[in-house]
Structure 1
Amino acid sequence: MNRRALMSSGAALAAATILGPLAPAALARAGRGEPVRFRLPAPNGPYPLGTVALHLADTARPDPWVPSRPCRELMISIWYPARGGAGRPAAPWMPPAAAERYLGRLGLPPGRVRLGDTHGREGAPVGGPPGPLPLVLYSPGSDASRSFGTGVVEDLAGHGFVVVTVDHTYDAAVVAFPGGRVETGPPNGVGDYAKALAVRSADIRFVLDRLAVLGSGGHPGVCRTPLPAGLRGALDLRRVGMLGHSLGGAATAATMLADGRITAGMSLDGGAAGPVVDAGLDRPFLVVDTPGKGGMENNPALRAFWSHLRGWRLHLTVRGAAHQSFGDDVLILPLLAPLLGMSAPKLEEEVGTIPGHRAQAFQRAYPRAFFDLHLRGGRGRLLDGPSAGFPEVGYAR
């Protein structure tokens, strides 16, 4: 479902039993008119986090969604293990100008919701294990934002990966550029998903090209934002993975077919479309899906893609999960539901019945296990078969 349509349903207040353990406080704050505050729980990796946002411009490509713009502009964030940085500001979960526009489009007045900060320090020096470090690219769902995968991203960076998150302009709900400019997606979300898939694939390949410039000692961005100390030598472009949610998951598969630089991919409840369905892939791929939103059970294209995977493969299902269980929405939506009049069934349709802390535990454990195995040669057993620590996860090969 389009996120804006979801958030403006206008149904009765959700029941506290659906909202989970945060519901009483959220309902009380809503009743008193106090701001509702969101902040991700702290990651548990051994390294502190650093991050930097960069403005990129592909001058060889007019914007495919707005042809009057002579080049394709993107915003990315680079996340990494840091050293020091305690005196640097924490990066906001979503840039303030983007957050204001996003919440306003949901019908929430200014100051009603405060989205808080991440655990990443802006511009902190790169630290962590001896580099260069494996790289993971993150593509969000349609009508979403790179911010919505922050929980997954923080975990990976805190365990020694460099993670690059991408906002696909005019496909994303909101994108804030330097200078205060904010670009939004169409009112009802992107309708041409085949085009969106092709655009996202081209975006990711361009981002990889710019990261190669960074690795060669250059600056990848437009505005020459100061780069964190140690960043130029931190990326190992021989070990590149990609992770995406929903349309970002489909884009992961499509981009891997087009670009051999990506050696392992993971899709969080994303389908499959385009040439990769029949061509398949010869590199590791992990499919996570749910019974809804076109999962393996009722999506012939995804089943065909699965059957054509020739490398390492794994199919995971998560009992009680729904489409928005695989990003920060699983924690945000229960907080916003009282303000937006979401009914209990509507909330359950989007985030499932899985408790938020269990959904987040999955987000933290399984992507890291996958990229540990395929980008670092790790020996963890989590992907081998059912785990006592995750009884809700089903495995199929």
Structure 2
Amino acid sequence: MLATLLTAVLATTALVLPHPTGRAHVGTAVAHLVDRSRPDPWVAFEPYRELMVQVWYPARTIRGHRRADWVSPGIAAIVNPPGTGLELPVTHGYVGAPPAPGRHPVLLWSPGYGLERTSGTALAEDLASHGFVVVTIDHPHDAGWVEFPDGRIATRAAPTPTTPAEEEQLLQTVLDVRVTDTRFVLDRLRDLPAAPAMDLSRIGMFGHSMGGATAAGVMLADRRVRAGLDMDGSFTGPVIDAGLDRPFLMFGSQTHGGEQDETWTRTWSHLRGPRYWIELAGSAHLSFTDYQVLFPQIGLPADQIEQTVGTIGGERSVAIQRAWVRAFFDRHLRGRAGPLPRFPEISFPAGAG
């Protein structure tokens, strides 16, 4: 996504992500996981499914640790080749910083179809600064690029559908693969960096687009996930009619989600636990990614910005999202029963307020 837009834009600026709002410093570490129980579902000659995950967590100290880059070096060379005059963001997470004492709720993040785990960095960092451990997941060959520790870069290999029936089958396959990926990550949480800081009795999941559908699919299949959140993703698979009996938040954009999507109205009617349905005025589908703040910094034309991330200001959009995501998981993983955030840009379709 970013590489395509950069070919048309010559910038001379350093891109920045919003600073986390919590009191804790943020540590981060990357892990390579290999599921030897199954081959890669997209590439026939790969005998095992390999995943990359990144852990974001409250840190005890950041002294002596460097800030992590937004993307890995190999991917940076692809999305920002020489000559753009652009500097990609540096995150607010410090590589390998020691975790803060205590055991903290765990959140899994799954990105949109075709996107990388890094697309949710601004949210992940903020949650970590407020005492959550966030595990962001790459789904290789579904994502545009995933770089492994040995320098290999897995590119997108999922087929391009040519008919509605093929598209429906592809989406179901993508969902099935992602649910299996995520459940494998759940199995391996104790092996990840910062594992001693994780409270595995308090696990939630959220995601953007297909990542939101994945959160719902994982909740249906695995009761280890106690609360879930879909950010502007159409629901896919059996969860639409089976529903969920645990807390779930549907967070839609003005241009994609909400009552315009019949999978939302069907799923809403089958949610049996605490349920929430909100819509962010002025937002578009990619508002729920880091691109909400990065695209305006690049200097894209106004029509391209409006089409991709809407008319809402980037900092305002991110602030609202951070407040709602944190409040939802505070309520349902920490038992903090305070009032939910109220912003004039937030509406409650279907009488959901």
TM-score > 0.5, shorter chain as reference:
yes
The match for 1:206 is 184
Query: How far has the Cα of 1:232 moved from its partner?
Result: 3.3
Query: How far has the Cα of 1:344 moved from its partner?
Result: 2.6
Taking the aligned partners of 2:139 and 2:269, their CA distance within structure 1 comes to 29
Whether the aligned pair in 1 keeps the contact of 2:15 and 2:298 (CA below 8 Å) is: no
Which protein, 1 or 2, shows the higher relative CO under an 8 Å CA cutoff with sep ≥ 6?
A: 1
Residue 229 of structure 2 corresponds to residue 266 of structure 1: yes
Structure number with larger C-alpha Rg = 1
Match of 2:126 among 141, 155, 161: 155
Range moving further from structure 2, 146-155 or 34-43: 34-43
| CA distance 1:89–1:6, change in 2 (3 Å) | closer
The match for 1:165 is 136
The match for 2:60 is 83
Which residue identity is paired with 1:125?
P
Residues 221-300 of structure 1 mapped to structure 2, 5 A cutoff: 227=193, 231-293=194-256, 295-300=257-262
Output one character per residue of 1:159-199: Cα deviation in whole Å (capped at 9) or x when no partner. 00100000000111111110211111149978622111111
Residue 90 of structure 2 corresponds to residue 117 of structure 1: yes
Taking the aligned partners of 2:263 and 2:272, their CA distance within structure 1 comes to 16
Whether the aligned pair in 2 keeps the contact of 1:197 and 1:250 (CA below 8 Å) is: yes
Query: How far has the Cα of 1:263 moved from its partner?
Result: 0.5
Match of 2:264 among 298, 302, 306: 302
| CA distance 1:291–1:85, change in 2 (3 Å) | closer
Whether the aligned pair in 2 keeps the contact of 1:291 and 1:297 (CA below 8 Å) is: no
Whether the aligned pair in 2 keeps the contact of 1:100 and 1:110 (CA below 8 Å) is: no
Query: How far has the Cα of 1:44 moved from its partner?
Result: 1.5
Coordinate RMSD, CA, aligned: 2.1
Whether the aligned pair in 1 keeps the contact of 2:111 and 2:209 (CA below 8 Å) is: yes
Query: How far has the Cα of 1:235 moved from its partner?
Result: 1.0
Residue 107 of structure 2 corresponds to residue 136 of structure 1: yes
The match for 1:366 is 324
Output one character per residue of 1:107-158: Cα deviation in whole Å (capped at 9) or x when no partner. xx4553211311111111101xx52211000001111111111111011100
| CA distance 1:40–1:162, change in 2 (3 Å) | same
Query: How far has the Cα of 1:8 moved from its partner?
Result: 7.8
Whether the aligned pair in 2 keeps the contact of 1:4 and 1:188 (CA below 8 Å) is: no
Count of aligned positions: 343
Residues 347-358 of structure 1 mapped to structure 2, 5 A cutoff: 347-358=305-316
Which residue identity is paired with 1:362?
I
Query: How far has the Cα of 1:245 moved from its partner?
Result: 0.4
Match of 1:319 among 267, 281, 286: 281
Report the 3-state secondary structure (helix = DSSP H, G, I; strand = E; otherwise coil) of the residue aligned with 1:114. coil
Which residue identity is paired with 1:374?
H
Q: Which runs of 5+ in 2 are unaligned?
A: 162-166
The match for 2:5 is 7
Query: How far has the Cα of 1:332 moved from its partner?
Result: 1.2
| CA distance 1:205–1:133, change in 2 (3 Å) | same
The match for 2:347 is 394
Report the 3-state secondary structure (helix = DSSP H, G, I; strand = E; otherwise coil) of the residue aligned with 1:37. coil
Taking the aligned partners of 1:41 and 1:262, their CA distance within structure 2 comes to 28
Taking the aligned partners of 1:199 and 1:4, their CA distance within structure 2 comes to 25
Report the 3-state secondary structure (helix = DSSP H, G, I; strand = E; otherwise coil) of the residue aligned with 2:113. coil
| CA distance 1:6–1:111, change in 2 (3 Å) | closer
Output one character per residue of 1:321-366: Cα deviation in whole Å (capped at 9) or x when no partner. 111111211111123354xxxx432320111110111111112211
